[in-house]
Structure 1
Amino acid sequence: MKTPAQALAAALLMTTTTFTLAQTVLPLWPEGVPGARAIGPERIDGHVANVSEPTLLRVGPAVDRPNGTAVIVAPGGGYVRLAYEREGVQYANWLGTLGVTTFVLKYRMQEFGHPAPLQDVLRAVRLLRSRAAEFGIDPSRIGVMGSSAGGHLAASAGTLFDHPLGRTGNALDQVSARPDFLMLLYPVITMDGPAAHAGSRKALLGATPAPELVRLMSLQNQVSPRTPPTLLIHTQADEAVPVENSILFYQALTRAHVPAEMYLFEQGGHGMGMRDGLANASAWPRRAEEWLRSRGLLAPSAALQAK
């Protein structure tokens, strides 16, 4: 009998061999990257690093009828590199089996620092919302999913979507950048205290960030009633990004009366991705699917059906 992870892997393999997933790379800033500068060529060695030209990789759903939900996936990597395949494309293929259209975000990191990653993720939300009809998605069903530092970026989108630093003066700034939901896997949340991930903090904010910047980017401080519904997944065994990060964010969401669900597993280290051998944590994709389904995000979009 197959384990949940083995069954999922088999489904993904069958899907990707039976269907040709429509993949398109979209430039995020066709008019020119804000603050562009020469940092040398992009590096790809199992991870992606030294990103200067942010993009979205569109992975179409592996079903005949997309449900209209879209997810922007931000891979982790400490704002130094991107686990592009393991925490990006792999998740996109899984979401495709659920009828979701996915966009894997390649965002700027330590070479640019704050606020470049925030600008990239908010631009991604605005771009999809402004071109929703073209992509066959519902503009009211655009979520952001992220792992580790990508989880920090996703949570930034869900809390700082109206922040002036997320705007660049382009006409698209007038489009709402607020995601409709968040999915955060072992996210970096706080930039202060014993639960902070020092590597992500240094890469994003520099070696000696100002106290006000540390507070701004400690995202438990930025939750408001407008923060979108959130799913959190973390493990006790995570020795890189302590589980307290998810707990802090969940507590802030609860105080703000934002719908939130959190799964804290015993086993499964940092960057667990989608694999067997992690006891109950290996079934996190099933829990995530249940959460998406319970929020009506896997049912066909009424807005698209009405057209």
Structure 2
Amino acid sequence: MTQLGAGLLGAALPAMPVFGAAATGPLVLRLWPEGVPGAKNGLGPERVDDGRLSNVSEPTLTVFAPAVDRPNGAAVIICPGGGYVRLSTQREGEQYAAWLSTLGITSFVLKYRMAEFGHPAPLQDVLRAVRLVRSQAARFRIKADRIGVMGSSAGGHLAASASTLFDHPLGRTGAELDRVSARPDFSVLMYPVIAMEGPAVHAGSRKALLGSAPSAETVALMSVERQVTAATPPTLLIHTQADTAVPVENSILFYQALVRAKVPAEMYLFEHGSHGMGMRAGLGTASEWPRRAEEWLRGRGLLAISN
């Protein structure tokens, strides 16, 4: 961890229990203890329906420790999907965290703001999450250069936004923590929303994030395949041909942009598996994607135990 990150630890957050000391479930970190940017009154409480959250106004990170004796120092910030109107926190958050824990990875499930706030609130939340985790790397026994993002569907769009817009002014709020790098070190994108226009667009995600009449400039900015550069981190993409909600062309567009920028990337396109498949069994080779992802993580040295 950088000296800056260590110094910001005390300034950015109130005192909280040491990692692993909580006896009543996973540790939950407030993203904005100093106050949520653009906070809105009158939104009411969060709503929970069948493992999905909506009406989020207080973004958080829920911490899931590695299940193995020796954590490898890698961390993943998980962005559940839900079209920027809800968060599938069980299927595309907690289940992923349980799997990643078996690989020695520390997971942080992100609860981010959505349609009630619109752009750029989700971007601010995911970049604050990266900065917060990196600034507290020593506390969570992780490496500041092994922090990745993972997202599904609209959460995949958010993870891809973090991977391409990590230094964008819209992702900063003027807080001291802005000085910590928000660039993820790797990303895993599950059937992600990528395009914000054209035949591959997911209209619902676009409307929820950008509103009914976004400017051409905003549409271009948030069509994240256009924002890929050589600084975009190594990326794994997983999608299916059977996905009729978010066309597979979204992953293809992003992969092509990665190739043009010479960013290390792999992509698995499976025949079976509907949108939102998560870790569901019985989908043929598509259900084996966690093994492919583990191989990719291992091949990049992210699962090796470091001292």
Relative to the length of structure 1, the TM-score reads 0.91
* 1:30 and 2:30 are equivalent in the alignment: no
TM-superposed CA distance for 1:22, in Å, is 6.6
- 1:255-270 alignment, distance < 5 Å: 255-270=260-275
- Contact persistence 1:240–1:270 (CA under 8 A): yes
- 1:56-67 alignment, distance < 5 Å: 56-67=61-72
Q: Structure 2 unaligned runs (5+)?
A: 1-22
> C-alpha separation between the residues in 1 aligned to 2:28 and 2:167?
27
Identify the residue that residue 190 of structure 1 maps to in structure 2.
Answer: 195
Equivalent residue for 1:84, pick from 72, 85, 89: 89
Identify the residue that residue 48 of structure 2 maps to in structure 1.
Answer: 44
Equivalent residue for 2:235, pick from 224, 230, 233: 230
Identify the residue that residue 222 of structure 2 maps to in structure 1.
Answer: 217
The SS at the match of 2:76 is strand
* 1:276 and 2:281 are equivalent in the alignment: yes
> C-alpha separation between the residues in 2 aligned to 1:21 and 1:61?
17
Identify the residue that residue 168 of structure 1 maps to in structure 2.
Answer: 173
- Which AA in structure 1 matches 2:282? G
Deviations 1:220-266 (A, max 9, x none): 10000000000000000000000000000000000000000000000
- Contact persistence 1:223–1:256 (CA under 8 A): yes
Deviations 1:259-297 (A, max 9, x none): 000000000010001121111000000000000000000
> C-alpha separation between the residues in 2 aligned to 1:241 and 1:295?
28
Bigger Cα displacement from structure 2, 30-39 vs 139-148: 30-39
> C-alpha separation between the residues in 2 aligned to 1:75 and 1:276?
19
> C-alpha separation between the residues in 1 aligned to 2:25 and 2:103?
15
Report % sequence identity. 75
The SS at the match of 1:82 is coil
> C-alpha separation between the residues in 1 aligned to 2:117 and 2:140?
30
- 1:116-155 alignment, distance < 5 Å: 116-155=121-160
- Contact persistence 1:43–1:50 (CA under 8 A): yes
- Contact persistence 1:21–1:60 (CA under 8 A): no
> C-alpha separation between the residues in 2 aligned to 1:186 and 1:81?
16
Q: Structure 1 unaligned runs (5+)?
A: 1-19
> C-alpha separation between the residues in 1 aligned to 2:286 and 2:177?
39
- Which AA in structure 1 matches 2:98? N
Distance 1:221-1:206 versus aligned 2 partners, 3 A rule: same
Deviations 1:181-215 (A, max 9, x none): 00000000000001000000000000011111000
Deviations 1:56-95 (A, max 9, x none): 0000000111000000000000000000000000000000
> C-alpha separation between the residues in 2 aligned to 1:173 and 1:215?
24
> C-alpha separation between the residues in 1 aligned to 2:182 and 2:279?
29
TM-superposed CA distance for 1:152, in Å, is 0.1
How many positions carry a matched residue from both structures?
A: 283
The SS at the match of 2:292 is helix
> C-alpha separation between the residues in 1 aligned to 2:174 and 2:110?
21
Identify the residue that residue 73 of structure 1 maps to in structure 2.
Answer: 78
> C-alpha separation between the residues in 2 aligned to 1:54 and 1:292?
28
> C-alpha separation between the residues in 2 aligned to 1:110 and 1:162?
23
Identify the residue that residue 3 of structure 1 maps to in structure 2.
Answer: none
Moved over 6 A (4+): none
